[in-house]
Amino acid sequence: MTRQSIPVEDKNGELTYSEGFILDITNIKQAEKALRESEDRFRTIFEEDPVGIGIFDTKTGFVYQLNSKFCEILRRTPQELQNLDWKNYSHPDELQENIEKLNLLKKKKINGFSMDKRYFKPDGSIIWA
């Protein structure tokens, strides 16, 4: 930001000066554009990926966002899953391993993990994912 004296002509044609600041917002606009493009890429990957993806609150276990493939795998609607803690449809034999890995993530000891999981469908049958 730079301070400048800006010449201004009054009603009588006399030249006076006004003090003002000039801010170049080119970098801000470029950053906003890059952020929008990044968000669009993420949304496309999230929504169109053939793998089920869910974003969960690690403290409460409730869902922030799910892609349609995740819902399709579990044979549940997004509304059903929004009201369930992930532990409610996960197989109990895998809960401890999940919790341990989530704790390692929270402590930043690992950057991510994957595992084969069993989920319960609404009819009580199990599906591997």
In angstroms, how far is the first alpha carbon of the chain from the final one? 54
Please indicate, yes or no, whether residues 24 and 43 belong to a single structural domain of this protein: yes
Query: pTM above 0.75?
Result: no
Confidence of residue 100 (pLDDT cuts 50, 70, 90): very high
Task: List pLDDT tens digits, range 11-57.
Answer: 888 877 777 777 889 999 999 999 999 999 999 999 999 999 989 88
Co-location of 31 and 54 in the same domain: no
Name the average pLDDT for the chain.
Answer: 89
Q: Does 85 lie in the same domain as 31?
A: no
Which residue from 39, 47, 114, 15 is spatially nearest to 7, judged by alpha carbons?
15
Do residues 10 and 68 share a domain? Answer: no
Instruction: Say which CATH number the domain at 79 has.
Output: 3.30.450.20
- Find the domain containing 9 and state its range: 1-48
Count of structural domains, the chain = 2
Sign of the Cα torsion 109, 115, 118, 121 reads positive
